[in-house]
A and B are shown apart, each in its own frame.
Chain A
Amino acid sequence: MARLPEGISRFGDRIILAVCVVLSLWAASLDEPSRVAVGTRLAHGLLTPVERSVDFLDDLSTLKAENEELRRRVVALRLDFQQVENERRHLDELRRRAGFYEKNRGRLAPARVLELISPRIPIQAKIQCLSGDSLRVLQPVLTEKGLVGRISQVLSGDTALVELLTNDDARISVESVASGVTGILRFDGRSFFMDYVPQGDPVSVGDAVITSGLGGTVPRGIPVGIISRVQPSEVELFQHIEVQPAVHFSALSQVYVITRDGPWYSRRSDMILPDEGAVTGEGRP
């Protein structure tokens, strides 16, 4: 405790005592409600910093745990952000490819199936284009699953008849994705067949079948189905290959028309986009 100056120290203790006594007597002389009010205000003023200090110490004690939790959340958010970023890049890539496809291979115009024309199974479909694109004969029609057929007759600006692959006349060139072997798709009224595949050409059950682009009326690479049965024969010139179609022709409701006119060439670049790296994943960040 600081030493008092010499002049004051002789009476300093008495002065301090007098001050303390006066203050005490003043406080004690108040009536009880006033004493309580003054005491409460004083206690609040004195104890608030103490309470805040105690709260601060409590906060410090919980700070480490909160910090750990926040670190975990930051890591999780970073992972989420990375995931979102990857998805965004993927989406951009898909958009870019879709734009490229539309630019180079025609726009997919949505159309509604108005009627399925079928003596037994559907062989023709009447469609109405929903996008306002003008329809033309031989434009390919497909669903998300695969090729449906080609427009055979335009009834009006936005309505047309589609010749389905189940029609006898709908012969299109197809190929096996696995081996590149080509053939002609045919429907015999019950099943699809891939005709004109010589004996010995490598085809297997399970191979995907796509359009080959040969003939120029349908672009290459549209899924058609999967080879479901292969029957080689020593006495016949060609193999007997049955194809399970990708599309259910009796359940068509929404289709798309490729609005660009042919001819479509069978160049491989028609199926695989020029920026092949983007398709295979090369060059992606």
Chain B
Amino acid sequence: MSSIRLGLAAFLALVLQLAFVDHLSVLGVRPDMTVLIVVMLGLRRGPVAGTLIGFFLGLFQDLLAPATLGMNMLAKSVLGYLSGRLGQNLALSGLALYAPLFAIAVLVHDLLYLMVYTRLDLYRVLRIFLVESLPTAVYTAVVGVVILAVAIVLGGGVFASRREAGGGL
């Protein structure tokens, strides 16, 4: 996948997050498509690409709401890096294993975000974490697995090259 396609994928994730995620809202809970794309690309492309994709995707998200400048950048950069590292060192061999991975990714992302956002106000972090992040993590994991399954059915999908190389899925 070329850099242009990486950029397009990130842009698509942003558009999906902004335009369509509200239609997937269940009891006020919405999946985080940007986290999904950062994790998927990080797993596939390694820590450098994952970090940069996360950084710039977070930057664009922050620019849409400049009061949060830096927070999405930080959370998604770290998430992209961790995903890349995980993709290098771990071979996930089943679709179901991605569900907890996506859920944990959302939790890590939100934890980082909330710690900066609340200036380490742990009570607020915990409250928001439990009320919003946990349901979002579950829902995002479900949506992520569905997207992966569709990608596999449609011809190899996102992780085709890793499977050919002996990686997961």
Interface residues of A (CB under 8 A from B): 1, 4, 12-13, 16-17, 20-21, 23-30, 32, 35-40, 42-43, 46-47
A13 to B82, CA, bound (A): 10
Residues in B whose Cβ lies below 8 Å from that of A46? 63
Cβ contacts under 8 Å, B55 to chain A: 20, 23-24
Contact present for A16 and B70 (CB under 8 Å): no
| A-contacting 9-mer, from B43-51, B123-131, B149-157 | B43-51
| Distance in angstroms between the alpha carbons of A259 and B63 in the assembled complex | 90
Stretch from B13-21, B71-79, B134-142 that touches the partner: B71-79
List the 3 closest A-B pairs by CB distance, nearest first. A39-B66, A27-B70, A28-B70
Nearest residue, chain B, Cβ from A16: B51
- Contact of B48 (CB < 8 Å), options: A1, A27, A29, A39: A1
* CB neighbours of B74 from chain A (8 A): 20-21, 24-25, 28
- Could you tell me the distance between the alpha carbons of A37 and B67 in the complex, rounded to whole angstroms? 9
* Contact B51 A20, beta carbon cutoff 8 Å: yes
In the complex, A173 Cα to B53 Cα: how many Å? 107
Q: How far is the CB of A12 from chain B (nearest CB, A)?
A: 6
Tell whether B81 is near chain A: CB-to-CB under 8 Å.
yes
Decide: B116 and A28 in contact? CB cutoff 8 A: yes
* Chain B residues within CB distance 8 Å of chain A: 3, 6, 45-49, 51-52, 54-55, 58-59, 62-64, 66-71, 73-74, 77-78, 81, 84-85, 116
Contact of B73 among A13, A27, A40, A47 (CB under 8 A): A27
CA distance A36 to B63 in the complex (A): 9
Beyond the given A12-B48, A16-B47, please list 12 additional residue pairs across the A-B interface where CB-CB is below 8 A: A13-B47, A16-B52, A20-B52, A23-B55, A23-B73, A24-B73, A24-B77, A25-B70, A28-B73, A28-B74, A36-B66, A42-B59
Which B residues are CB-close (under 8 A) to A36?
66-67, 69
Q: Which residues of A contact B78 (CB under 8 A)?
A: 17, 21
Report the bound CA distance from A175 to B141 in whole Å.
111
With beta carbons under 8 angstroms apart, the residue of B45, B66, B84 that contacts A35 is B66
**CA of A35 to CA of B47, assembled, Å:** 28
With A20-B73, A23-B73, A27-B69 known as contacts, the answer to whether A13 contacts B51 (CB < 8 A) is: yes
| Closest chain B residue to A32, Cβ basis | B67
Given contacts A17-B51, A20-B55, contact A35 B63 (CB under 8 A): no
Chain A hits for B46, CB < 8 A: 13
Give CA–CA (A37, B85) in the complex, Å: 35
In this complex, which of A17, A21, A29 has the most chain B Cβ atoms within 10 angstroms of its Cβ? A17
Chain B residues whose CB sits within 8 angstroms of the CB of A13 once the complex forms: 46-48, 51, 81, 84-85
Within the complex, which residue of B47, B58, B63, B84 is in contact with A24, where a contact is CB–CB below 8 Å?
Answer: B58
Q: Shortest Cβ distance from A39 into chain B, in angstroms?
A: 2
A38 to B85, CA, bound (A): 32
Q: How far is the CB of A8 from chain B (nearest CB, A)?
A: 10
Q: Which residues of B contact A29 (CB under 8 A)?
A: 70
A24 touches B71 (CB 8 A): yes
Which residues of chain B are near A35, meaning CB under 8 Å?
66-70
Smallest CB–CB gap between B57 and chain A, Å? 11
Which residues of chain B are near A23, meaning CB under 8 Å? 55, 70, 73
A20 to B49, CA, bound (A): 12
Q: For B81, list chain A residues within 8 Å (CB).
A: 13, 17
A39 near B63 (CB under 8 angstroms)?
yes
The complex places the Cα of A25 from the Cα of B78 at a distance, in Å, of 12
Tell me whether B70 and A24 are in contact (CB under 8 A).
Answer: yes
| Complexed CA–CA distance, A43 and B69 (Å) | 11
Contact A1 B49 (CB under 8 A): yes
Check if A43 sits within 8 Å of B77, measured CB to CB: no
User: CA separation between A16 and B52, bound complex, in Å?
Assistant: 8
